[in-house]
């Protein structure tokens, strides 16, 4: 049963403490015995600067007196953790506490010695607690401009994650404007307000919570007058210092603009600017030594401030010592000890074996264990130490002769980057085992794709576990190809005197290192205020010492020609016969000023001859620069057009389908004379179509003056249409018979279908015997009228009918009186013609006789009725 507890608390406030005490469980912790608090120290081998860099805690517990044999070790997460370890009976022990960073490197360590002797088992409880940060203090606010304020405060805690910066808004509420890291005690605020005071609040925070706020205010200053450049808030002493190989040095640029203008940062080519406004540099071995850097802060107008500083590149890595032979040597009494020696290689100095200092004495006349120490320091005083143990035995010692390794080929082989490498190998010989080459183990880190010095380590042990002295072959992968420099822009540049010269720059590429443009060094300068020839030299080296150089020639000269400005327009119109008056021109040069009197004018103007004339204006300055030739075009213009006279009438009538011959026209011009042969005629007369046609006669003189005249040609149709009767022109129609028009056929020499235009005048009265005339007429589109007629005779061809009253044969006696029985006659047209009947024959009753009476009648048309006969017999 565990009756005792050894309890430890890890805290960090202003320091990092490990607090431990014993607690007895049998009497419910009536009292505790506190072990002296131990401050956990920061290790010299680690660059961690803060307690909260620790990710986990490792506890190692061992017994110096051997009360328990094995080391008890456990690792716990650091924050908000509680864990336990059990320690066996008898717990005089030593406990080592190590704080590990995220890469399991020891960042902090401490040790507690527990000497109390107990018989009961011990339970070790470990807790890690984080407390809220201690309040920051002494807030100082400096108004650098109406829009820039510098805040500084004192950090009283070591466990905060950072600080929250707040500013009070118009409503009196604090707005968070920034969160800054824990190791930062300054802040630069950029912002404006319409209030009279700026009020700021600062709070420290951690995972456990917030500190009490620190609040202060400052009056808003009035605006600056006059143009001022941006100002850096750091100086050379703030950023100058030491940079170690294998690290990256960086800092945030702090500046402000007194006029509240925007500004930008520009750094020298070796530096990289990252957001927000941070410069960084990662030096290479070639950079060992002191280097000067600069950053420029410039506003939109070019007003600027420059920050200069230096960084010294140092090496902190000590040489690597390699013992020749075994780490432990065994000798018999009175043997002669010969130190096998050691070698040392440094990452910068290379082979420093000759600098090794050996200390320690081996007395082979006395048995015992001896230590030989090898130490060496590089030129940066980085110390390395290695020891060898020599054991002198009083009796016989086992075989301790190690095998011998022999490299095949050279100890150091040099190849170019990318070249294929084949290890020549090694052989191993032993005094007992003979050849043991097959047991050689090889460790190689050769990478032929990357320049560097690589090692191939050969090791072997014989059957007695004697280990041969490790052989190392060095493989140097070298880059011997020089970088390639390429000028941006031409090799020779012409720059105007007093003109700003902007270096076009270069690009630098390397077969291995890629883009080395930022490493290019430029020597030389260009003074554009002085004419001359300047040379700029560009040099670049890759990290392997391969260098290339190219040059650019910059010629500063007056290359700007004068300018010519014409007086008046560059195009003038002169009427033929007028006198030309030269308006002149002005010439100005940026160096010679007004050189109008040097202008030369060439070209003539003939005002009596229409045409285009050119006057040329030329001038040169004292440097021989010729101005761009100016010119003026003068047009001598004839503005009177020719006169066109038509031959014949202005209007001509032409019969349809007859030929037309244009009578033509004549043209006379005041300058060109007879231009008749230049007349062009626009228009065409088609005599096959009735229409009015316009012929336009045009002519232009050599000055472009154009004349026009028109003639109208009317094509007319004078032939009337022809009406051809279908059927007879004279027609007979029985009375009372309906008349049906036979129709006509119309033809015209021009118009195609005129049937719809036919007009018929007259009527046919079929109820009346006689002649009726129908008149036909049609008019074409030209107004020509064609006529015809048809005569329709209405006739009666039906004879009257006679009907006798009484019998056709009548018998009477002699001397009887004969009385005519009567008769009737009717006609289809004349009606009753009884009165018109004629009776021939006379009846004599005095004697017996036979008399034939004939009855006849005709209608008005002469149609005779079939005669009727009546026989009268007198007996």
Q: Using alpha carbons, list the distances in angstroms from residue 639 to 94, 581, 611, 708.
A: 123, 20, 12, 15
What is the longest distance spanned by two Cα atoms in the chain?
Answer: 233
Q: Both 12 and 124 in a single domain? A: yes
Instruction: Give the pLDDT score at 263.
Output: 82
Q: How far apart are CA 344 and CA 330, in angstroms?
A: 24
The total of structural domains in the chain comes to 10
Distance, CA of 714 to chain centre: 70
Instruction: Give the pLDDT score at 118.
Output: 54
Q: Both 16 and 115 in a single domain? A: yes
Q: Please report whether residue 828 resides in a domain.
A: yes
Q: How far apart are CA 614 and CA 606, in angstroms?
A: 11
Q: Both 15 and 103 in a single domain? A: yes
Which residue would you say has higher pLDDT here, 855 or 9?
Answer: 855
CATH code of the domain in which 587 resides:
2.60.40.10
Quick: pLDDT tens for 345-355. Answer: 988 888 999 99
Instruction: Give the pLDDT score at 316.
Output: 82
Q: How far apart are CA 676 and CA 664, in angstroms?
A: 9
pLDDT-wise least confident of 77-81, 109-113, 227-231 = 77-81
3-class DSSP string for 526-581: CCCCCCEEEEEEEEEECCCCCEEEEEEEEEEECCCCCEEEECCCCEEEEECCCCCC
Which residue would you say has higher pLDDT here, 41 or 497?
Answer: 497
Quick: pLDDT tens for 440-475. Answer: 999 988 898 888 888 999 999 888 788 888 888 888
- Selection from 583, 582, 566, 572 nearest residue 636 by Cα: 572
Kindly give, in sequence order, each residue whose CB lies less than 8 Å from that of residue 209, ignoring residues fewer than 6 positions away: 132
Q: How far apart are CA 53 and CA 104, in angstroms?
A: 11
- Selection from 816, 771, 818, 778 nearest residue 793 by Cα: 771
Q: Please report whether residue 124 resides in a domain.
A: yes
Six token digits for residue 783: 């107004």
Q: Average pLDDT of 795-803?
A: 93
Q: Both 782 and 825 in a single domain? A: no
Q: Both 549 and 569 in a single domain? A: no
Assess whether pLDDT exceeds 60 at residue 304: yes
Q: Both 788 and 768 in a single domain? A: yes
pLDDT-wise least confident of 33-37, 106-110, 725-729 = 33-37
Q: Both 461 and 390 in a single domain? A: no
Q: Both 333 and 382 in a single domain? A: yes
Assess whether pLDDT exceeds 80 at residue 861: yes
Q: How far apart are CA 690 and CA 670, in angstroms?
A: 40
Instruction: Point out the domain boundary residue: 557, 580, 604.
Output: 557
Range of the domain at 264: 231-314
Q: How confident is the model at residue 724 (pLDDT cuts 50, 70, 90)?
A: very high
Q: Both 543 and 590 in a single domain? A: no
Q: Both 712 and 737 in a single domain? A: no
pTM of the model: 0.33
Kindly give, in sequence order, each residue whose CB lies less than 8 Å from that of residue 833, ignoring residues fewer than 6 positions away: 800, 825, 826, 827, 857, 859, 865
Q: How far apart are CA 731 and CA 762, in angstroms?
A: 15
Q: How far apart are CA 316 and CA 346, in angstroms?
A: 11
Instruction: Give the pLDDT score at 20.
Output: 54
Q: Both 630 and 583 in a single domain? A: yes
Quick: pLDDT tens for 355-391. Answer: 999 999 999 888 889 999 999 998 888 899 999 999 8
Q: Average pLDDT of 252-259?
A: 84
- Selection from 264, 257, 235, 236 nearest residue 144 by Cα: 257
Give the 3-state secondary structure percentages of the chain, helix then strand then coil, rounded to 5.
5, 50, 45
Assess whether pLDDT exceeds 80 at residue 486: yes
Q: Please report whether residue 225 resides in a domain.
A: no
Instruction: Give the pLDDT score at 113.
Output: 64
Length of the chain counted residue by residue: 875
Which residue would you say has higher pLDDT here, 255 or 23?
Answer: 255
Assess whether pLDDT exceeds 90 at residue 786: yes
User: Cis omega before residue 437 (within 30°)?
Assistant: no
Backbone angles phi, psi at 519, to 5 degrees: -95, 0
Kindly give, in sequence order, each residue whose CB lies less than 8 Å from that of residue 704, ignoring residues fewer than 6 positions away: none
DSSP codes of every residue in 188-240? EEE---SSSEEEEEEEEEETTEEPPPEEEEEEPPPPP-S----EES--HHHH-
Give the mean pLDDT of the chain: 83
Q: Both 110 and 32 in a single domain? A: yes
Instruction: Point out the domain boundary residue: 314, 334, 369.
Output: 314
Assess whether pLDDT exceeds 90 at residue 676: yes
Six token digits for residue 447: 């990478």
What percentage of the chain has pLDDT greater than the value 90?
Answer: 35
Q: Please report whether residue 444 resides in a domain.
A: yes
Q: Please report whether residue 224 resides in a domain.
A: no
Q: Average pLDDT of 284-311?
A: 85
Quick: pLDDT tens for 183-200. Answer: 788 888 888 777 788 889
CB-CB contact of 724 with 747 (8 Å) = yes
Please report the beta strands in 115-211, taking only residues with DSSP state E, as ranges in sequence order: 122-128, 137-145, 148-154, 162-168, 174-181, 186-190, 197-206, 209-210
User: Cis omega before residue 761 (within 30°)?
Assistant: no
Q: Please report whether residue 861 resides in a domain.
A: yes
Q: Please report whether residue 226 resides in a domain.
A: no
Six token digits for residue 793: 């005779």
CB-CB contact of 641 with 671 (8 Å) = no
Backbone angles phi, psi at 152, to 5 degrees: -135, 140
Assess whether pLDDT exceeds 70 at residue 83: no
Instruction: Point out the domain boundary residue: 355, 372, 397.
Output: 397
Q: How far apart are CA 137 and CA 711, in angstroms?
A: 111
Assess whether pLDDT exceeds 80 at residue 224: no
Residue 615, beta-bridge partner list: 632
């Amino acid at each position: 049963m565990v009756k005792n507890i050894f309890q430890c608390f890890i805290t960090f406030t202003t320091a990092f403490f490990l607090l431990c005490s014993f607690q007895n469980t049998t009497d419910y912790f009536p009292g505790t015995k506190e072990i002296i608090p131990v401050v956990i120290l920061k290790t010299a081998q680690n660059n961690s600067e803060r307690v909260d860099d620790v990710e986990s805690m490792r506890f190692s517990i061992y017994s110096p007196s051997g009360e328990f044999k094995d080391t008890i070790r456990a690792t716990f997460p650091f924050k908000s953790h509680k864990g336990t370890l059990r320690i066996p009976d008898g717990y005089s022990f030593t406990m080592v506490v190590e704080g590990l960073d995220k890469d399991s490197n020891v960042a902090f360590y401490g040790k507690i010695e527990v000497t109390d002797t107990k018989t009961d088992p011990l339970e070790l409880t470990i807790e890690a607690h984080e407390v809220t940060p201690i309040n920051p203090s002494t807030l100082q606010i400096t108004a650098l401009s109406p829009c820039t304020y510098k805040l500084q405060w004192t950090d009283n805690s070591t466990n905060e994650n950072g600080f929250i910066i707040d500013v009070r808004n118009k409503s009196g509420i604090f707005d968070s404007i920034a969160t800054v890291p824990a190791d930062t005690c300054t802040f630069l605020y950029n912002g404006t307000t319409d209030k009279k005071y700026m009020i700021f609040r600062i709070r420290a925070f951690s995972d456990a919570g917030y500190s009490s706020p620190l609040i202060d205010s400052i009056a808003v200053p009035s605006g600056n007058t006059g143009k001022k450049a941006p100002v850096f808030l750091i100086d050379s002493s703030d950023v100058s210092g030491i940079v170690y190989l294998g690290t990256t040095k960086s800092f945030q640029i702090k500046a402000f603009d007194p006029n509240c203008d925007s500004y930008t940062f520009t750094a020298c080519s070796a530096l990289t600017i990252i957001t927000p406004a941070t410069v960084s540099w990662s030096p290479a071995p070639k950079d060992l030594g002191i280097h000067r850097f600069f950053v420029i802060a410039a506003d939109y107008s070019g007003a600027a401030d420059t920050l200069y500083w230096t960084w010294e590149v140092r090496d902190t890595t000590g040489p690597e010592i390699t013992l020749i032979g075994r780490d432990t040597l065994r000798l018999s009494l009175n043997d002669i000890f010969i130190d096998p020696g050691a070698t040392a290689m440094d990452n910068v100095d290379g082979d420093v074996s000759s600098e090794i200092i050996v200390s320690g004495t081996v007395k082979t006349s006395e048995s015992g264990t001896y230590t030989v120490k090898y130490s060496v320091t590089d030129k940066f005083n980085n110390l390395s130490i290695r020891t060898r143990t020599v054991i002198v035995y009083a009796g016989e010692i086992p075989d301790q002769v190690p095998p011998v390794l022999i490299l095949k080929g050279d100890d150091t082989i040099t190849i170019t980057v990318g070249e294929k490498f084949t290890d020549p190998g090694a052989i191993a010989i032993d005094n007992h085992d003979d050849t043991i080459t097959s047991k050689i183990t090889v460790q190689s880190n050769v990478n032929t794709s990357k320049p560097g010095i690589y090692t191939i380590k050969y090791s072997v042990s014989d059957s007695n576990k004697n280990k041969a002295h490790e052989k190392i072959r060095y493989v140097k992968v070298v880059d011997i190809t020089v970088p390639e420099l390429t000028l941006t822009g031409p090799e020779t540049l012409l720059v105007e005197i007093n003109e700003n010269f902007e270096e076009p720059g270069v690009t630098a590429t390397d077969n291995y290192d890629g883009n080395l443009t930022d490493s290019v060094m430029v020597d030389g300068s260009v003074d554009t205020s002085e004419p001359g020839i300047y040379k700029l030299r560009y040099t670049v080296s890759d990290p392997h010492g391969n260098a290339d150089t190219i040059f650019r020639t910059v010629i500063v000269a007056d290359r700007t020609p004068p300018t010519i400005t014409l007086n008046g327009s560059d195009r003038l119109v002169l009427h033929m016969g007028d006198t030309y008056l030269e308006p002149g021109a002005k010439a100005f040069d940026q160096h010679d000023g007004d050189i109008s009197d040097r202008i030369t004018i060439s070209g003539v103007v003939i005002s009596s001859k229409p045409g285009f004339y050119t006057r040329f204006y030329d001038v040169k300055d004292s440097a021989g620069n010729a101005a761009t030739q100016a010119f003026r075009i003068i047009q001598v213009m004839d503005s009177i057009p020719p006169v066109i006279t038509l031959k014949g009438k202005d209007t001509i009538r032409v019969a349809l389908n007859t030929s037309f011959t244009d009578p033509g026209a004549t043209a006379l011009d005041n300058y060109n004379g007879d231009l008749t042969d230049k007349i062009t005629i626009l228009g065409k007369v088609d005599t096959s179509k009735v229409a009015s046609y316009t012929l336009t006669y045009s002519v232009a003189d050599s000055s472009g003056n154009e004349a026009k005249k028109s003639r109208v040609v009317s094509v007319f149709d004078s032939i009337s249409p022809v009406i051809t009767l279908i059927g007879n022109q004279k027609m007979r129609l029985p009375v009372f018979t309906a008349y049906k028009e036979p129709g006509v056929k119309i033809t015209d020499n021009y118009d195609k279908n005129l049937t719809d235009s036919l007009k018929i005048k007259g009527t046919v009265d079929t109820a009346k015997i006689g002649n009726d005339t129908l008149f036909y007429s049609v008019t074409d589109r030209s107004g020509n009228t064609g006529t015809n007629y048809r005569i329709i005779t209405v006739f009666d061809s039906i004879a009257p009918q006679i009907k006798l009253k009484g019998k056709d044969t009548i018998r009477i006696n002699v001397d009887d009186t004969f009385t005519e029985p009567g008769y009737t006659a009717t006609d289809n047209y004349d009606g009753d013609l009884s009165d018109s009947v004629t009776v021939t024959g006379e009846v004599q009753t005095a004697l017996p006789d036979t008399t034939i009476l004939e009855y006849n009648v005709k209608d008005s048309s002469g149609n005779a009725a079939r005669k009727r006969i009546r026989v009268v017999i007198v007996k």
